[in-house]
Amino acid sequence: MVSFSARARLSTAAAAGDQAGTGEVEVLRASTPAAVMVDPEQACRDAVNVGLIVHRAHPLNCETDLGALIGGVVMPNARFYVRNHFHIPRLASPAWRLSVRGHVGRSLSLSLSELRTMRSQALVATLECAGNGRSRFSPPTAGEQWRLGAVSTAEWTGVPVSELLERCGPRTSARELLFRGADAGSVPGRRVPVRYERSLRLDEAVRSGALLAYAMNGEPLPTRHGYPLRLVVPGWFAMASVKWLTEIELIDHEFTGRFQTETYQYETAAGERAPVTRQNLRSLIVEPAAGERRASGAMTIRGVAWSGEAPVRTVEVSVEHGPWMRASVVGDPVRHAWRWWELLTRIERAGAVSLRARATDEAGRTQPGRAPWNRMGYGNNAIHDVEMVVR
Ligand SMILES: Nc1nc2c(c(=O)[nH]1)N[C@H]1C(S)=C(S)[C@@H](COP(=O)(O)O)O[C@H]1N2
Ligand SMILES: [Mo]
């Protein structure tokens, strides 16, 4: 980062209105409010300590170890994957406000405690980074080389965006909601720092059940996941779920911005573009893990499956490229949460054994053997295969 100068100063955050002594780094000349950021080294150490796989320390980008989840529906907050474009801002809740303005009948400035008194909702939703599985594209694409753990599920609690719309009364001219995060930094081709910001059409925000979340698995949002308030857009790839919200502007046009129309576009080799929106249909094998050794005989194969389009209908597993066998999907369906599936089978032959799993949705779509290559490496929902060893 060049023009976004950060000055590392331990424990002098009091100047910026936060508690002192917690190792924050003060950010100078930021175009954002309350610009105190989390010490990147500390954030990275914390991630490593809980077993996250760190791809980059600053900005912090790390994926979960799905094997650590077996059986659980939600990922504990400490192990939830983290995807950041810039530093992690530390927003102090007494001073923080959510401002709602633009093409509205009534502008709002809401404190966290005011938001907490509004109609709330809790929902379990899976967030998946659009770049999850990018490292499996061939030829390789630029960007964070995620394996398959840039996906996690949590119970989110907050105020439905529809409730906020009722309060502010969109004018008939309003087309999109523009969500602005407090984080910013320099990006290629721009001379001034840009903020992380994305828009959603009003109808999409309502139809998706988008939530202004202040709690994650029953706890206040952790700093790195957007404290004090983030957007959660169920069923959408997680770039839509803007963290560290400070402002929502209702606008009368289509937003174009770095993270809206420059990135998060599927771009073919021929240069054709389409925006990244909903999650693709996907299933992952969690158990056995790649390279795991198991005794021959009875074997349980387990994994998770989810989709942002039509609900998952079936998951099938194939052993050594044999016939597809139907797994049983466990638990009650929750529309935008992953579900566990399992198959009990027998594998007698010793040696390296390949396992594959594929999901099919209610609209009849099935995961492809190979996902369409695109320049920025998004949406790789190719059938997952795992090679294990039978003794
Ligand atoms: N303000 C802000 N919001 C953001 C991002 C960001 O860099 N800044 N990254 C987005 C992307 S690409 C993803 S995948 C998710 C990751 O959310 P998590 O870190 O809570 O897992 O946040 C989204 N929201
Ligand atoms: Mo992402």
* Residue range 116-156, pLDDT digits in tens: 999 999 999 999 999 999 999 999 999 999 999 999 999 99
Cα(344) to ligand 1 centroid in Å equals 37
Torsion, Cα 153 76 317 291, to 10 degrees, reads 140
CATH number for 4-275: choose from 3.90.420.10, 3.20.20.140, 3.40.50.300, 1.10.357.10. Answer: 3.90.420.10
Average pLDDT over residues 20-30: 34
Ligand 1 cavity residues, CB under 6 Å: 80-85, 127, 129, 181, 183, 196, 225, 238-239, 241-244
Report if pTM > 0.85: yes
Q: Which two tokens stand for residue 75?
A: 């990922």
Q: How far is the CA of 190 from the centre of ligand 2 (A)?
A: 21
The domain locations on the chain are 4-275, 282-390
pLDDT-based confidence at residue 17 (cuts at 50, 70, 90): very low
Choose one of 83, 129, 247 to mutate for the ligand 1 pocket test, by most ligand atoms within 8 angstroms of C-beta.
83
Q: Sign of the CA dihedral 164, 166, 167, 168?
A: positive
pLDDT in tens, 248-303: 999 999 999 999 999 999 999 999 999 999 999 999 999 999 999 999 999 999 99
Instruction: Determine the Cα–Cα distance for residues 87 and 223; give it in Å rounded to an integer.
Output: 11
Question: What is the tens place of the pLDDT at every residue in 168-213?
Answer: 999 999 999 999 999 999 998 899 999 999 999 999 999 999 999 9
Q: Which string of DSSP letters, residue by residue, matches 243-301? A: -SEEEEEEESS----IIIIISSEEE-TT--EEE--BPPPEEEEEESPTT-EE-SEEEEE
CA nearest ligand 1 atom 9, residue = 84
- Residue 251 alpha carbon to ligand 2 centre in Å: 24
Instruction: Identify which of 5, 154, 25, 31 has the alpha carbon closest to the alpha carbon of residue 90.
Output: 25
Return the CATH number of the domain spanning residue range 282-390: 2.60.40.650
Hey, whose CA ends up nearest to atom 18 of ligand 1?
Answer: 82
Beta strands at 297-306 and 339-347: parallel, antiparallel or unpaired: antiparallel
pLDDT band at 223 (very low <50, low <70, confident <90, very high): very high
Q: Which residue has the tokens 């074997």?
A: 299
